[in-house]
């Protein structure tokens, strides 16, 4: 006897849900999101702090949100080199993608998210090792410090004096958005008197409910404003901030 139609529908729904949950987890890893930012996205988009609590439609919305951030579910090709996966590598990768939004590096964010080509080349120059995956703790620390100095030269403040550890990542995201906005103003893309909230809404259609944004919203704003800045790269967007 064939199973009831409702049972077949349930099995199909479960299969779709499991595939979407897997995509959400892959996106988290691919985008280099920490747990707080990841759960913040889930809460904002789906109203839950765990993918397992989400319905299929909610999971689709979450995947779409991650895709707007640069997530791609394209399968890895056989023989492709393994990306460095130690903690310092993950930190360096997040910084590299952020520097791409800031137009401090010429590699586009999509390329930086999908592969470590630019970061690997930078690591090779800085550390002298053929693969970032082979770097030890001391070398990884050296690379992160080099990236921080690069960020500072482009106006992204890495010195968060007095900021509690729990709010450190949030403060860095705010600083990244402010640095991108400064470059947008310098290029004449954003009006001099615009606040970050003004620029997010007028240039990207992102509207916040209060005076401040959440960490995940600042991430989205950085990516969106970064695209606007990159479109005007010929106007000196890649130059260091000198004042």
How far apart are the C-alpha atoms of 147 and 133, rounded to whole Å?
17
Please name the residue ranges forming H helices in the chain: 5-31, 35-46, 56-68, 87-101, 109-114, 117-127, 137-153, 168-186, 196-204, 215-231
Per-residue pLDDT tens for 213-232? 888 889 999 999 999 999 98
Per-residue confidence band for 135, with pLDDT thresholds at 50, 70 and 90: low
How far apart are the C-alpha atoms of 100 and 243, rounded to whole Å?
20
Per-residue pLDDT tens for 20-42? 999 999 888 877 777 888 888 89
In the chain, where the domains are located: 5-68, 82-153, 157-243
With a cut of 70, say whether residue 63 has pLDDT above it.
yes
pTM over 0.75: no
With a cut of 60, say whether residue 7 has pLDDT above it.
no
How far apart are the C-alpha atoms of 235 and 240, rounded to whole Å?
12
Q: What is the mean pLDDT of the chain?
A: 83
């Amino acid at each position: 006897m064939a199973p009831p139609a409702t049972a077949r529908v349930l099995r199909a729904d479960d299969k779709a849900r499991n595939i979407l949950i897997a995509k959400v987890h892959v996106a988290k890893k691919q985008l280099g999101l920490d747990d707080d930012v990841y759960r913040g996205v889930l809460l904002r988009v789906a109203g839950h702090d765990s993918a397992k609590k989400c319905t299929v439609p909610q999971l689709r919305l979450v995947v779409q949100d991650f895709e707007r951030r640069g997530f791609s579910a394209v399968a890895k090709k056989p023989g492709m080199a393994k990306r460095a996966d130690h903690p310092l590598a993950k930190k360096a990768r997040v910084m590299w993608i952020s520097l791409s939004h800031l137009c401090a590096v010429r590699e586009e964010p999509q390329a930086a998210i999908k592969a470590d080509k630019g970061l690997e080349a930078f690591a090779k120059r800085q550390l002298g090792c053929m693969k970032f995956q082979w770097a030890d703790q001391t070398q990884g620390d050296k690379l992160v410090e080099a990236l921080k100095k690069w960020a500072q030269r482009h106006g992204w403040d890495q010195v968060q004096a007095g900021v509690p550890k729990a709010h450190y990542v949030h403060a860095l995201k705010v600083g990244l958005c402010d640095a991108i906005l400064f470059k947008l103003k310098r290029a004449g893309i954003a009006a001099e008197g615009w606040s970050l909230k003004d620029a997010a809404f007028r240039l990207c259609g992102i509207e916040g409910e209060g005076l401040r944004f959440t960490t995940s919203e600042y991430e989205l704003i950085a990516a969106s404003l970064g695209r606007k800045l990159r479109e005007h790269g010929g106007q000196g967007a890649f130059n260091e901030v000198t004042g």
